[in-house]
């Protein structure tokens, strides 16, 4: 039995904008309500997913900020923060909340533009441990670089494999008008010219930071043929720092969340037709595929080399462009993944519509695997 239904979705473009955080939130909120054919009066509770509103801009208490966009509505609502997995966690919470609330609005929003680079790096680093990571400079490019190095040592993964992911996702984003790099053609020469960020990761191995918002209305009951059943929802956590873990080529939280989501959906990994995974760095897409059970550990690269995860392959991964090229508006990312899967499952994905889209999956990670939320959506078998 479905855990709930996504009855409406909305999303702004991800990328730099002059719009304020509340303006972005309002744009996605209105789009999701319109898509659902509902008004705010039909909503029973709302959840705001955001990561850096406080450190970046001095904006906390965002449930009350959003309440201010809806005068007189006075709904139950809160903000959730789980680093880059905030959006996916909000979707999980919305499903839990259906026990009491019939229609729950999930709103992910983030604003990153205009924050000086060093400050932004420091703020994003707050998703790593204060004592174990931040003081040592073990920020996220560095952490994922360590994961990449260990993956290369263990399985023979190469920088060429990472490049293939970047090229694929940038090509996919060219079909997605809401993608951060929709307008940007990225070819091998661009990748070759990329500076090293944290070896082996170079510029085009890293996602951008984006402004943006995404929203979804999640309901206890289906409204119509466009309502998308959520078949499984898995959430798990792990110790925050790589220094607290023994395995560095896989994220236990992702494996646990996937097992839970598959069991709840009563499917196996092979039943998934397409996936939006958390490719904050190219290596993260490889780890995601292995954690999701799309292949054995170390075997993701053969799928990538064989074109299996390309949009015309048998298991398209990040057909939207992913975080890498679609953009990463941190608090909005997990909700944006749900937007994307819903559009595909409805056959409304336009130029990026996949040939086969019956079961779709979202995979949203916080930190370097400290949190993972996974959702399976589509037709119940």
Residues that bind a copy of itself (CB under 8 A): 20, 45, 51-52, 54-55, 57-61, 63-68, 71, 74-83, 89, 92-93, 96-100, 122-123, 125-131, 134, 235-241, 244, 252-253, 256, 366-367, 370-371
What's the min distance (Å) between Cβ of 313 and a copy of itself? 32
CB 214 within 8 A of CB 335: yes
Exposure string of 95-110, with b = 16+ CB inside 10 Å and e = fewer, is bebbeebebbbbbbbb
- Pick the closer one to a copy of itself by CB: 71 or 116: 71
What's the min distance (Å) between Cβ of 44 and a copy of itself? 11
For residue 92, give Cα distances in angstroms to 12, 261, 356, 372, 374: 21, 11, 26, 11, 9
Nearest to 322 by CA among 376, 269, 364, 261: 364
Tell me, yes or no, if 84 is annotated catalytic. Answer: yes
User: What DSSP designation does 109 have?
Assistant: E
User: What DSSP designation does 52 have?
Assistant: S
What's the min distance (Å) between Cβ of 294 and a copy of itself? 21
CB 353 within 8 A of CB 344: yes
* Distance of alpha carbon 113 from alpha carbon 350, whole angstroms: 29
Tell me, yes or no, if 328 is annotated catalytic. Answer: yes
CB 218 within 8 A of CB 94: yes
Q: Are strands 196-198 and 201-202 parallel, antiparallel or unpaired?
A: antiparallel
- Pick the closer one to a copy of itself by CB: 54 or 313: 54
- Pick the closer one to a copy of itself by CB: 113 or 252: 252
What's the min distance (Å) between Cβ of 65 and a copy of itself? 5
Exposure string of 287-313, with b = 16+ CB inside 10 Å and e = fewer, is bbbbbbebbebeebbebbeeebbbbeb
- Pick the closer one to a copy of itself by CB: 45 or 288: 45
Sorted by sequence, the CB contacts under 8 Å of residue 157 that are 6+ apart come out as 148, 151, 283, 286, 298, 301
Of the candidates 248, 328, 363, 375, the residue annotated as catalytic is: 328
- Pick the closer one to a copy of itself by CB: 172 or 236: 236
Supply φ then ψ for residue 246, to 5 degrees. Answer: -100, -25
What's the min distance (Å) between Cβ of 111 and a copy of itself? 11
What's the min distance (Å) between Cβ of 50 and a copy of itself? 9
- Pick the closer one to a copy of itself by CB: 344 or 371: 371
Catalytically annotated residues: 84, 328
């Amino acid at each position: 039995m479905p855990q709930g239904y996504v009855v409406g979705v909305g999303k702004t473009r991800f990328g730099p904008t002059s719009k304020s955080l509340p303006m972005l939130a309002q744009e996605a909120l209105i789009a999701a309500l319109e898509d659902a054919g509902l008004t705010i009066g039909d909503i029973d509770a709302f959840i705001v997913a955001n990561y850096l509103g406080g450190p970046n801009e001095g904006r906390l208490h965002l449930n009350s900020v959003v309440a201010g966009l809806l005068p007189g509505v006075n709904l139950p609502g809160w903000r959730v923060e789980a680093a880059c997995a905030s959006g996916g966690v909000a979707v999980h919470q919305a499903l839990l909340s259906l026990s009491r609330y019939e229609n729950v609005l999930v709103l992910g929003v983030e604003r990153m533009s205009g924050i000086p680079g060093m400050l932004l790096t420091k703020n994003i680093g707050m998703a790593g441990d204060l004592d174990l990571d931040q003081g040592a400079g073990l920020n996220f490019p560095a952490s994922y670089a360590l994961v990449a190095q260990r993956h290369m040592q263990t399985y023979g993964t190469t920088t060429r494999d990472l490049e293939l992911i970047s090229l694929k996702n940038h090509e996919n984003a060219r079909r997605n008008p809401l993608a951060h790099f929709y307008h940007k053609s990225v070819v091998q020469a661009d990748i070759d010219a990329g500076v090293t960020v944290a070896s082996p990761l170079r510029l085009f191995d890293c996602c951008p930071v984006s402004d943006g918002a995404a929203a979804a209305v999640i309901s206890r009951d289906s409204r119509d043929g466009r309502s998308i059943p959520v078949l499984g929802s898995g959430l798990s956590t792990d110790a925050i720092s790589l220094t607290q873990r023994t395995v560095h080529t896989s994220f236990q939280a992702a494996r646990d969340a996937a097992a839970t989501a598959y069991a709840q959906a009563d499917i196996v990994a092979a039943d998934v037709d397409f996936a939006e995974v958390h490719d904050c760095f190219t290596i993260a897409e490889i780890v995601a595929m292995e954690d999701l059970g799309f292949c054995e550990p170390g075997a993701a690269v053969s799928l990538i080399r064989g074109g299996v995860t390309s949009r015309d392959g048998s298991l398209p991964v990040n057909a939207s462009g992913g975080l890498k090229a679609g953009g990463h508006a941190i608090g909005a990312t997990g909700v944006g993944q749900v937007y994307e899967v819903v559009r595909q499952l409805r056959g409304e994905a336009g130029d990026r519509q996949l040939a086969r889209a019956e079961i779709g999956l979202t995979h949203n990670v916080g930190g370097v695997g400290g949190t993972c939320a996974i959702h399976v959506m589509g037709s119940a078998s």
